[in-house]
Amino acid sequence: MSRLGTLGARLYRGEVGYDFVAKRKIWYGISILITITAIVGLAVRGLNMGIEFSGGAVFATEKTSVSADAAKETVERVSGHTAIVQKQGDGKLRIQVSELETKASVKTQEALAEKLDMPINKVNTDIVGPSWGEEIADKAWTGLAVFMVLVVIYLALAFEWRMAVAALVALIHDLTITVGVYALVGFEVTPGTVIGLLTILGYSLYDTVVVFDGLKESAKDITKQTRWTYSEIANRSLNGTLVRSINTTVVALLPVAGLLFIGGGFLGAGMLNDISLALFVGLAAGAYSSIFIATPLVADLKERDPQMKALTRRVRAKRAAQAAKADSGQDDGRGADTDAEDAGDDEPQDASPAGLVGQRRQPVSRNRGGRGGKRR
C-alpha cells in the first residue's frame, strides 16, 4: 500500500489526526479575509457582463490580414463602446461590443467591412437585445435560488437543520469567492460561467455531504457515552474522509487546469475560459469549505445544544477524575490496577483523543478467567 493509502487508513481508524475543529477560529479568519477581498474586488471593479446579459452585437468576419488592434480601433471609434476582439486560428475575427443598439451596429458593420476591404455581407452581425439579456440573468438568479432552497430542505430532512445551515454558509462562501475572482481577473460572465458555478456548487455539496453522513453515524447515541465530545467526534469523522477529499479534489482540478491554462490561455478559446475559471476556483474553494468551514461550523452550532453542553461537562469531569486517579496510582504503585480498571470500562477504548498525532495507546489486556493455569 502506498504511503498516502496507509495514511488514509490510519486517519480513518483514528490512529493519527489533525484537530481541524479546535482550530476553527483560524479557518474562519482566513475565510473572512478572502471573502472580504472578493467583495471589495466585486464592488470596485464589478463584473464584466457578456452580451448575453447586457445586450450588444457580435461581428464575425472572413479571413483577413488586418490586425486585431486595427479592427478594434475602428469599431470603438465608430460605435463609441469598448470592443473585445479575438483573432481566431483560421485568420477570422470575432468582435464583441456590449450595449450596442441596432442602428449603431449597422454603421459599425459598414465601417468594419470598409476597414477590412471586404463586402459587407462577409461581416456577419448578431444582435442581442438588452431585454433578452435581462431575461437570461433573471433565469440564472432564479435557478440559483431554487437550487439553494432545495439543498437546504434536503439536508434538513436527511440530516438536521444545523448541517443544512452549515452547508448553505459553505455554498455562499464558495460563490462569493468565485464571483470575486471573476471581478478581479476581469473575465467575461457568460452563460458558460453560470454553468460552471452550478457545477462547482454540486461538487462542494458532494464533499460536504460525505463528511456529514459519517458524522451522523458516529454521533448516534452520543449522549450515552462520556468518552468523546461532539466536536471530537466531528473531527474524527473529518479526518476519516480527509485523504479521499484531497484525492478527489486533485483529480478534478487537473483536467480543469488543463482547460484553463492550455485551452483558454494558449488556444484563446473564450468559452473554455468562461467555464474553466469558475470550475477551477470553485472546486478549490469547495474543497476548502467542506473541510475548514462546514464541519467546524456544525460542531459550533451543535455544542450550543444543552445536551451537548452537559455531555462536554461529563467528559471533562471523567478525564479529570482519570488523570487524578492515574497520578495517585503512580504515587502508591497501583498504576497497573488503574489501567486494568479503565480497560474494564463499558465504553469503547479503541481510539485516541481527537487531534492528537501519533500512535494511540492500546488498552491493557487482562485475564478474563480470573485464574491462571490451563483450562480443564
Residue 372 neighbours by CB under 8 Å, 6+ apart: none
Q: What average pLDDT does the segment 297-317 reach?
A: 91
Q: How confident is the model at residue 298 (pLDDT cuts 50, 70, 90)?
A: very high
Residue 186's nearest CA partner among 41, 301, 73 is 41
pLDDT of residue 33: 93
Give dist(CA 297, CA 328) in Å, integer: 39
Residue-wise pLDDT tens digits, 22-75: 888 999 999 999 999 999 988 888 887 777 777 788 888 888 888 888 888 888
Which of 265 and 281 is assigned the larger pLDDT?
Answer: 281
> CA 279: distance to chain centroid?
10
Tell me if 195 sits within 8 A of 244, measured CB to CB: no
Residue-wise pLDDT tens digits, 41-55: 888 888 877 777 777
156 pLDDT exceeds 60?
yes
Residue-wise pLDDT tens digits, 311-343: 989 999 998 888 888 888 655 544 444 444 443
Residue 124's nearest CA partner among 139, 135, 112 is 112
Which pTM was predicted?
0.71
Q: What share of the chain has pLDDT > 90, as a percent?
A: 10
SS3 22: coil
Work out the angle at residue 115's Cα, subtended by the Cα atoms of residues 112 and 120, and round it to the nearest 5 degrees: 50
pLDDT of residue 350: 40
Q: How confident is the model at residue 367 (pLDDT cuts 50, 70, 90)?
A: very low
Which of 369 and 223 is assigned the larger pLDDT?
Answer: 223
pLDDT of residue 297: 93
pLDDT of residue 94: 83
DSSP one-letter string for 323-356: HHHHHHHHHHT-HHHHHHHHHT-SS--S-PPTT-
SS3 231: helix
Return the half-sphere exposure (C-beta side, CA atoms, 13 A cut-off) of residue 213.
Answer: 7
Q: What average pLDDT does the segment 5-20 reach?
A: 64
Domains of the chain: 18-49+132-306 (1.20.1640.10), 56-128 (3.30.70.3400)
Q: What average pLDDT does the segment 214-242 reach?
A: 86
Which of 130 and 188 is assigned the larger pLDDT?
Answer: 188
Which of 188 and 332 is assigned the larger pLDDT?
Answer: 188
Residue 284's nearest CA partner among 245, 253, 248 is 253
Rounded to the nearest integer, the mean pLDDT of the chain is 77
Q: How confident is the model at residue 12 (pLDDT cuts 50, 70, 90)?
A: low
Find the range with the poorest average confidence among 44-53, 125-134, 263-272: 263-272
pLDDT of residue 330: 58
Do the strands 188-189 and 48-49 form a parallel or antiparallel pair, or are they unpaired?
A: parallel
Q: Which residues pair with 196 in a beta bridge?
A: none
The number of beta carbons lying within 10 Å of the beta carbon of residue 288 is 21
pLDDT of residue 352: 42
Q: What share of the chain has pLDDT > 70, as a percent?
A: 78
Residue linked to cell 476519516? 240
